[in-house]
Amino acid sequence: MKRLLLMIVFFGTLPCALLNSLQDRDADAGAPPREWCAARLTFDSVTSLRGEILFFKDRWFIRRNLSNPEIMNISISAFWPTVKYQINAAYEVENLVFFIKGQQYWAFSASIEQPGFPKDIRNLGFPKKLKKIDAALHDRNTMKTYFFSGNKYWRYDETKTSMEKGYPRKIATDFAGIGPKVDAAIQHNGKFYFFSGQEQYEFDIIRKMVTKKMNSNSWLGCP
């Protein structure tokens, strides 16, 4: 019951079908699983959602509230059955969470899929030849969303709902020092955090410089 109440607080009122399915789904509250604290851990994607941070790996995600030491390890399909597993990129815009897999993307309000989704990523203005987005990050201060693929990135204006001109640009040009490839990214307290392999980089977007380097799992309270 405690786990169920935590999920309701996090996601809001849950549909009856989801409430029933949670009884049969894998969920474990408490310390992070041992494999999530492995030294060489990498993430598929990371995003904020309603004040918490979600870390995705394979078919699982961990939800983390930095003001609460308790974390929860949950099957992705328990909340987003149409997405299922291995989310390439994720980001939040005004309480809507977006998931990207291959050349499709979904929008959800908590666990509720929005009408008309999934859509083709080319609807956002990407070229037809682009096969995959590696990571995404939404800047709440500017309402711009960054998309990373290979050694390049694009920037999308959420207010104008259009891709900005002059992109793609080289990641190394504008985000020097964060590694050759971005696996996941998130904004937190005004800083950008880039996950590359088993490492992450805190990046000051104003000073255009890396200010800290950490293990990718440092958010999880790993020993």
Q: Which backbone phi and psi does 37 adopt, to 5 degrees?
A: -100, 10
Alpha-carbon distance 167 to 72, whole Å? 38
How much is the average pLDDT of 145-168? 97
Mean pLDDT of 197-201: 93
- The pLDDT assigned to 8 comes to 42
Q: Is 18 helix (H, G, I), strand (E, B) or coil?
A: helix
**What are the beta bridge partners of residue 203?**
192, 210
pLDDT in tens, 57-75: 999 998 888 777 677 788 9
Q: Where in the chain is the domain with CATH 2.110.10.10?
A: 113-223
Give the number of other Cβ atoms within 10 Å of residue 118's Cβ: 18
Give me the chain's average pLDDT, please.
85
pLDDT at 5: 39
Per-residue model confidence as pLDDT tens digits over 13-51? 434 333 343 333 444 445 556 677 776 788 999 999 988
CATH number of 113-223: 2.110.10.10
Instruction: Please state, in angstroms and rounded to a whole number, the distance separating the CA atoms of residues 23 and 13.
Output: 16
On the question of a cis peptide bond just before residue 118, with omega within 30 degrees of 0, the verdict is yes
pTM for the structure as a whole: 0.85
